[in-house]
Structure 1
């Protein structure tokens, strides 16, 4: 099935049953084996409200064989075509009693290998010794994100809230956005959510004592100008 029309119209699509129980358990096992045996790592962020792994596909590459099962590869190719590669990945683990929440925002930065003066690349930052920058909106408009749900995600444990079609309005300040079409994106365990980076999204605190684990992967097929490179680039095997 091609989900592109829904993604272009609303900014997102939810697809259930992309992974079976065995695949999810294998991904969980690989994550737990790595985190249990790692005492200190610059890409790991841990607090009482959140555990996160940046550059996830680099830190735990064995998960990729299970993440990119035939279902996911077919969805990507049938929806977007060929030639896309990973540009960024983050693992989020929101504990049962988490008070962590995120206000409405767009995903405006990409991870790159160095800092340099390039027209329309702005708002440079550094996180975990990695450069991030806001590229021209044309790059962001053509990228997409897939969120893989390791746990059932509901409004009670922090499912994303989105503003439908907000991705089509370009880069906006939140106060200039009409908040009229909010949707709660509940996703079953083993399902995915595909979204455009410019879609305004947020998440709330956990209220039902249920854990929420998500693998967030960003994709592009665009090369960057003037010798700038994607720092987390990893090609998808056919």
Structure 2
């Protein structure tokens, strides 16, 4: 799939799948780098935050051409990474995610700014819902460290729903009734990318295999600086900005 196709697919459907984005050796190296987090993930419903801050290999992944090309296809040149997470569905950490949009960002400290709210706190870090205009310029790029099959809890999406802004509960049901969902199976080393406002969900895994995913969120260059003194929590990773290639 070419970059031009990524751009068209992401604009139309809100998501894109890129098989074989990273070679096996790079995936093996990432698995080694995140291995110390595996037990932590198992004890926290399968998720670990702050990978950009804490794991150098994930910072390098966020700069990888395969990741950046997809992010920039959706957001334009200069897209930069703002958050990194690890997800792993196992028999001991298995969960269901209902239909939703990704509506929060992580910031360094709470400040009262018009259009930003409500506020929550996750792992000691302030999170806030920003204006829909910002969310419309964010995309998640997920590298799969294991095969993601139809039976180990893949992401499901409703194509095109990202174009309708922030959705109410009634809007969600309207989209579900009108547009068939798509199950996103992704091979090991492949990428699933989707806009933050795209409706997505996942079911519990039905088998005992791992479904390890490194999830990196990017924002468009025009949101490099947030208003009112707000700052991205992981924005201190300045090398993730720009058109740098590693």
Please give the TM-score of this superposition, normalised by the length of structure 1.
0.89
On the 8 A contact 1:97/1:207 being kept in 2, the answer is no
Shift of 1:98: 4.8
Higher helix share: 2
Instruction: Give the aligned CA root-mean-square deviation in angstroms.
Output: 2.0
Shift of 1:175: 3.3
Distance 1:72 1:30, change over 3 A: same
Residue of structure 2 aligned with 1:26, choices 24, 29, 47: 29
Shift of 1:50: 3.4
Distance 1:28 1:137, change over 3 A: same
Residue of structure 2 aligned with 1:224, choices 217, 223, 226: 226
**Aligned partners of 1:69 and 1:144: how far apart in 2?**
16
In structure 1, the partner of 2:82 is: 87
Query: How do residues 176-195 of structure 1 correspond to structure 2 at under 5 angstroms?
Result: 176-177=171-172, 178=174, 179=176, 180-195=179-194
Task: Give aligned pairs, total.
Answer: 230
Query: How do residues 169-208 of structure 1 correspond to structure 2 at under 5 angstroms?
Result: 169-177=164-172, 178=174, 179=176, 180-208=179-207
Higher strand share: 1
**Aligned partners of 2:113 and 2:93: how far apart in 1?**
40
Where 2:227 maps in the other structure, the secondary structure is: coil
Unaligned runs of 5+ in 2: none
Query: How do residues 1-238 of structure 1 correspond to structure 2 at under 5 angstroms?
Result: 1-2=3-4, 3-32=6-35, 34-35=36-37, 44-47=40-43, 50-66=45-61, 68-77=63-72, 80-96=75-91, 98-177=93-172, 178=174, 179=176, 180-220=179-219, 221=221, 222=223, 223-233=225-235, 234-235=237-238, 236=240, 237-238=244-245
Please give the TM-score of this superposition, normalised by the length of structure 2.
0.86
